[in-house]
Structure 1
Amino acid sequence: MTRKKLVPVLTLFIAALLIFPVPIFLGSPELKKVTLTIASPEWLPGKIIEELSKEKFTEYAKQYGYDVEIVFDYSPWGTYYQRLSSVFAARSSEIDLAFSDSQWIGEFSEGGHIIKLNDFLEANPEVKKALVEDTMENVLLYYLVYPRAGLKPEDAPKLIEEGKVNVWGIPGTADAALIFHYRKDLFSHPEERAAFKAKYGYELPQTYEDWAKVDWVQVRDFAEFFTRKKGEKLAGEVLEDDFYGIVLNNARDYDFISCFFLPIFWSWGAELWNETTMTAEGYVNSPQAKEAAKFYMELVKFMPPGAPSIDYDGLITIFTQGRAAMTVLWASMSAIFFDPKASKVYDKVAEALMPHHDGVRYTTLGGQPLVVSSYSRNKEVAFLYLKWYYSDTIQKELALKLGFTARKSILNSEEFLNSHPWTRAYADNIKYAKDFWNIPLYSKLLEAQQEVLNAMVAGQISPEEAMDLIAQRHEEILRQARK
């Protein structure tokens, strides 16, 4: 072979090694020292992943010739987006991988900040197979694919298999579905059951199967019924404080109120926008959208005072102190409800499917894909980490520790379903998870929506006016994308 022909062959070989490292064996050269830095929100799942990475990835990497030090770069949720954005804007190499919210994929990919993984998947067929054959379709589409306009979750496996879409990550922390929690001691109390039936004409749900039939309109009845004043009786005992039917996160911070409003919004048949034409007018302010907003305000009547400022800390405090009958929370945060050191109702909580409305059921998609920074100086080790992270063994171990996963084979296993109090509800809820925008203008769209929804809960604007105002502001923002 001539030198001229040899050069491109060697180039291809070296590129392949970056995304498909080869194990070394005894007698190989000394291990190469590498510090692999992974950006993560500051929360319990990150700590669990860090611990497992330090314990097992470091040993795994030695097979490929690397002595790896794992460093997790934590930021609070409130500033995490700003942290990643500033690192990427500076084209800094200080981060190798990041757990990115799914909605940031558009901005980060169009900015050239993260690496497209199509070649990585071709070079690592076991990872591609795990994605295509054993990962929930909605997670595949919403976490990994951009652009995605006009695509449906059921299309994702085939499109990824055939390489017809751009893939930007793998499922990182698949905290993908909100879970409905309720006080089982109250709903099963004989006196409360009899009083409820006498007032509303039907029975309170008693079993998991009963709850699967519950409409959001019935949740409104439950919330009204269980709202009591100090001095009144609840389950045969005199209340020392006011008690509330339901508590939800209505805070303006980041995506808080949107995540809790959207399951109702979508279940009423509304949509945020037309993803193909990038228009909001007539969608986010449709008749169905306005009815959903009006219904949400019905629930607000039975929430604690200061509902517009209730965030995750407030929600968890109110529910664990035994002052609300129902709530909704992510799987990643649900463990505190069952901790006897933190919760007065640790033995009185049960989980259910998110309610439907007229047979339509949705929950907001949560969780983060794991992406590789374009500016990493350790790309070969970053790719190796992806391969390790999405292996069957590591995914199962993480699922059992975290109480959530996107892998179908794990979701359907008895071991997972029995691993935590909420895992059955999580496994049933994830199929209804839906995401919102993931285009570069996401943060502006979200900020406008958060401000208006929070004002609606505060009573500063009517539900109908709120949805019209969101449509107006979103149209102004989306005009930039349509140019």
Structure 2
Amino acid sequence: MGGNAVASSFDPQPFRRRTNRRSIVKAAGAAAAASTLGLGTPLLRRAHAQESVKDQILAIPGPGAGAPSEADIERVGELSLNTDKQGAFEGQTVVFQGLSNAGFHVNVFRPISRAWEEATGATIEWIEVTQADSYPRMSQAFATGNVEFDIIEGSGGWEGEMLGGGYCVPMPDSVLNAPEYDYDDIVPYLQSPTRTWDGVTYGASVDGDMHHFNYRKDVFASEDLAAEWASSGGEGDFAPPTTWQQVQAYSQFFQGKTDPDGLPTYGILDPLARSGGVGTYFFFSRASSYAKHPDDPAFFFDPETMQSKINSPAFVRALQDMIDAIPGAPPDQQNADLLKTLGDFLAGTGTMAHWWADIGANEYASDQSVVQDKVGFSILPGSPDVYNYGTGEWDTIEGNNFAPYLAFLGWGLYVTTAGEERGVSEAAWDLVKHLSSKDISLWMNVYPSGMNPSRESHFNAADWTAGGYPEADAQEYLDSIADSYNHPNRIVDLRIPGQGEYWIAAEDEWTRAISGELSPQEAMDNAAARWEEITDRYGRDAQRELYTASL
């Protein structure tokens, strides 16, 4: 989540600063100031020669060096610093609320921002929230008027509340047109509709998101398992699955088997624990190709009535699939959240996972990964049939129905109206520009940070070799992301007020079916009823107008 990541190996507590850091940072700040005067110092040329900066930072820490240390991240911030506001914000404090997710996000932003703090004189106060608390904390702050933060790291799915509610301020031209921000390099769906409201840009993307499919290449290349598959009557060749039906068949087949390393072979890893609504993203991935008809742009609601679709046979089938896959999963999978699932896959447990792009981002650059050279990538699996909500029938699709899910719509940085009222919005936007700049964003993709590709320039596979990725593997990984972003039947995530409430309500109910308390149909009927209540509370007509516009 994108936007999410497995634990880093470095200690999140600040390292002791090097004694010469301030002189380095002040010099970088002076170089940036000199650029406004047309001066050309050697340091200026280093700091502003984009390819040179890119090459320098991608070499930190370099192939085979493991996860970046905090000192490494500080150095990236120093080399990438580009501000003409040296000393301009002396005495100001900018409050940043962001995700503290297993050592990433804020724990990367913090050291990468120290050079900016020293150059500008500003101080950053960090409010850290967990994945499960991130939406409720944001929603409560805006609803009560107690907005303590000047910058919020938020999902594109929350923009109905953040932007539609008037709680954030538009991006100024000084950021939008800055060469180092390079707005035109951002992938199209993160230029609009995401990060915008009523045609005005508000948010700066630091992350792009979708769920894609990850599988163990070594397992599906095993001749012994292929022979067992054939002798057991398995349908078709033993090969990476392309449909959810094949995923289910393999999850059943792998029970009691061992992988090429002699370890137990498990099937699909579904995050099944309650986690503040986050698990619902994975449930919708499971339902994607069953429920998203290529002739119907609407996935979540009927756009004519705003009646929820989530208790239709497509979503019920997906929930039954998740239940049926549990016997082929690792022990206690019912209590596994997204981070447990990610960590398990990187540690060699499980053969298939539908996740944000963080598995690939951690395959080579994380100290926790033991699956180097063993992971393949594709768009989410399809289905030979898809539910037609209009007719109430299942339609057969030639060549299978595929529907990649742009889950979460990526993390973005937004400056709040409250920050503007406190007089720190100029400093806040300058910090946002630093954190979302082209060079820094590339580095945060190549090395584990919880960020996934959000710019066209992130799709150059050759750049990823700096982090130890074989170029062919990087290309396959990036292609699966690009194919998801650009697919004609993609599902653009929900982006209306109350999005987080809808997700939590759904998770509360489908997890009851996972535990056996309710049948899948009962669970989804309950979830649909709760969605109707949320829609009525926000105003059915208003929600319908916003949802229809988002399609």
* 1:42 counterpart (66, 78, 100): 100
Matched with 1:109 is 163
Secondary structure of 1:200's aligned partner: coil
In the TM superposition, residue 77 of structure 1 has moved relative to its aligned partner by 2.0
Change (3 A) 1:87 1:24: farther
TM-score scaled by length of structure 2: 0.67
Maintained 8 Å contact 2:361/2:446: no
Matched with 2:128 is 74
* 1:448 counterpart (498, 501, 505): 505
1:125 pairs with 2:182: no
Aligned AA (1:414): A
CA RMSD of aligned residues (A): 3.6
Aligned AA (2:319): A
In the TM superposition, residue 41 of structure 1 has moved relative to its aligned partner by 0.5
In the TM superposition, residue 142 of structure 1 has moved relative to its aligned partner by 5.6
Secondary structure of 2:307's aligned partner: coil
Provide Cα deviations, 1:440-459, integer angstroms capped at 9, x if missing partner. Answer: 22232122101111112222
Change (3 A) 1:95 1:123: closer
Matched with 1:262 is 284
Question: Residues of 2 paired with 1:321 and 1:37: CA distance?
Answer: 36
Maintained 8 Å contact 1:169/1:371: yes
Change (3 A) 1:22 1:320: closer
Aligned AA (1:263): S
Aligned AA (1:409): S
The equivalences for 1:416-427 within 5 A come to 416=464, 419=467, 423-424=474-475, 425-427=477-479
Matched with 1:4 is none
Aligned AA (1:145): T
Secondary structure of 1:315's aligned partner: helix
Aligned residues: 422
The equivalences for 1:136-175 within 5 A come to 136-141=187-192, 143-146=194-197, 165-174=199-208
Question: Residues of 1 paired with 2:376 and 2:87: CA distance?
Answer: 54
Secondary structure of 2:526's aligned partner: helix
* 1:326 counterpart (336, 342, 352): 352
Question: Residues of 1 paired with 2:365 and 2:442: CA distance?
Answer: 23
In the TM superposition, residue 391 of structure 1 has moved relative to its aligned partner by 3.5
Matched with 1:53 is 113
Provide Cα deviations, 1:130-162, integer angstroms capped at 9, x if missing partner. Answer: 44x33223333463134xxxxxxxxxxxxxxxx
Change (3 A) 1:452 1:52: same
Maintained 8 Å contact 2:251/2:325: yes
Matched with 1:475 is 532
Question: Residues of 1 paired with 2:237 and 2:466: CA distance?
Answer: 28
1:374 pairs with 2:431: no
Matched with 1:9 is none
Maintained 8 Å contact 1:179/1:429: yes
Aligned AA (1:399): N
Secondary structure of 2:98's aligned partner: strand
Question: Residues of 2 paired with 1:264 and 1:29: CA distance?
Answer: 50
The equivalences for 1:354-433 within 5 A come to 354-357=380-383, 358-366=400-408, 367-376=410-419, 377-401=423-447, 402=449, 404-416=452-464, 419=467, 423-424=474-475, 425-432=477-484
The equivalences for 1:314-353 within 5 A come to 314-316=340-342, 318-320=344-346, 322-332=348-358, 342-343=368-369, 345=371, 348-353=374-379
TM-score scaled by length of structure 1: 0.75
In the TM superposition, residue 335 of structure 1 has moved relative to its aligned partner by 5.6
Q: Which 4+ runs in 1 deviate beyond 6 A?
A: 21-26
Question: Residues of 2 paired with 1:475 and 1:369: CA distance?
Answer: 29
Aligned AA (1:139): L
Question: Residues of 2 paired with 1:233 and 1:447: CA distance?
Answer: 37
Change (3 A) 1:340 1:83: closer
Maintained 8 Å contact 1:307/1:457: no
Per mean C-alpha deviation after superposition, the further-off stretch among 254-263 and 121-130 is 121-130
Matched with 2:229 is 196
Maintained 8 Å contact 1:272/1:280: no
1:273 pairs with 2:300: yes
